[in-house]
Amino acid sequence: MSAREKILGRVRTALGRMPGEGIAPRPEFELQIEAPADRIALFCERLEALAGKAHVVAGAPEAREKVKEIVGGRSAVAAEHPLLASTGILDLAGVQHSFATPAARREAWASCEVGITSASFALADTGSMVMFASPSEPRLVSLLPPVHMAVIPASGILAGLEELLARVPDPAVHSSSMVLITGPSRTADIEQILVRGVHGPGEVHAVILQYC
């Protein structure tokens, strides 16, 4: 008998259940969505409380200027996201985004100082950015560089986790990876002293695009 059969067998014996037996009704509950008066303002407030930086810009030209200003001459790599293309961010001088081989791409992700992405959603009440791995949203661009910047349309700002789960009941349908990023990477493992940027980015920017 395999470990699988033995374990399932022991579980059934312990619970007094038969193979293929159905289940009692699950505990049900409503997702309580509390919409804030001003989603953008709340998101910015919560992100900044975690030492992230929030920037609200009007449209594409302002977004491009803001990104250029934050990059400030540092080496940068961007995800090939339609929003980053349409705002002209991919065309900024010094922003790499297209690579001949996967190895070259990974090398750029690992060596650049700034990683630029978009994000599908943001959560106002926790200051989180929600990213789904996809062709236009690799996992490592928001993770390897010491600085992460996400350009997010204001329409993507949700009230919080509940609204996200109401809109996306099963994240696995859309992507192999959904990640909620809530502020800069941090640790307090040595004497409970807060240090930012331990393995992930220590500097996190959200550029909120009001009209796009």
Partner 1 sequence: MKPATAQPGLGIHETLGDARLQLAIYTATQRLIDHRKKAVASDVLPAYQDLRTLAHQIKRHTIEHLDYYLEQVEANVTARGGKVVFCEDANEVADFVLKLAKEKGERLIVKSKSMTTEEVHLNERLESHKLEAVETDLGEYLLQLAHQRPYHIVAPALHMTRHDVADVLTESLGVAREIEPEKQTKIARATLREKFLEAGIGITGANFVVAGSGAVVVVENEGNARLTSSAPRIHIAVAGIEKLIPSAKDLAVFLKLLGRSATGQPLTVYTSFLSGPRREDEPDGPEEFYLVLLDGGRTKLLADEGKRESLYCIRCGACLNHCPVYRKIGGHNYPWVYSGPIGAIITPQFHGIDTDPWLPFASSLCGACLEVCPVKIDIPKVLLKLRAEVTASGAKGKRERTAFRIWAWVMGKPRLFALFGSLAAHFSPRPKNGAWIRRLSWPMNPPPLPAWLSQRDLPAPAERSFRSQWKSRKAAR
Q: Does 171 bind partner 1 (CB under 8 A)?
A: yes
Q: Judged by CB under 8 A, which of 37, 93, 100, 193 binds partner 1?
A: 193
For the bound state, the minimum distance from the C-beta of residue 31 to partner 1, rounded and expressed in Å, comes to 6
DSSP assignment of 36-98, as one string? -S-HHHHHHHHHHHTT-EEEEESSHHHHHHHHHHHHTT--EEE---HHHHHTTGGGSTTEE--
- Per CB under 8 A, which of residues 96..135 are in contact with partner 1? 102, 105-106, 110, 123, 125-126, 128, 133-135
Site for partner 1 contains 66 (CB under 8 A): no
Q: Which is nearer to partner 1, 153 or 184 (CB)?
A: 184
- Contact code string over 24-63 relative to partner 1, x by CB under 8 A: x-xx-x-xx-------------------------------
DSSP for 101-157, please give it: SHHHHHHHHHH-SEEEEE-SEEETTTTEEEEE-BTTB-SGGGTSSSEEEEEEEGGGE
**Strands 95-96 and 121-123, sheet pairing:** unpaired
The answer to whether residue 82 forms part of the interface with partner 1 (CB under 8 A) is: no
Residue placing its CB nearer to partner 1 in the complex, 57 or 157: 157
**Shortest distance in whole angstroms from residue 12 CB to partner 1:** 5
Least Å distance between CB 62 and partner 1?
Answer: 28
Of 141-170, which residues contact partner 1 (CB under 8 A)? 143, 161-162, 165, 168-170
State how far the Cα of 122 lies from the Cα of 47, in Å rounded to an integer: 10
Q: Which of 53, 75, 154, 186 binds partner 1 (CB under 8 A)?
A: 186
CB-count burial class (<10 Å; 0-12, 13-18, 19+) for 176: exposed
Place of tokens 């996809």: 134
For partner 1, give the closer residue by CB, 12 or 74: 12
How far apart are the C-alpha atoms of 142 and 149, rounded to whole Å? 8
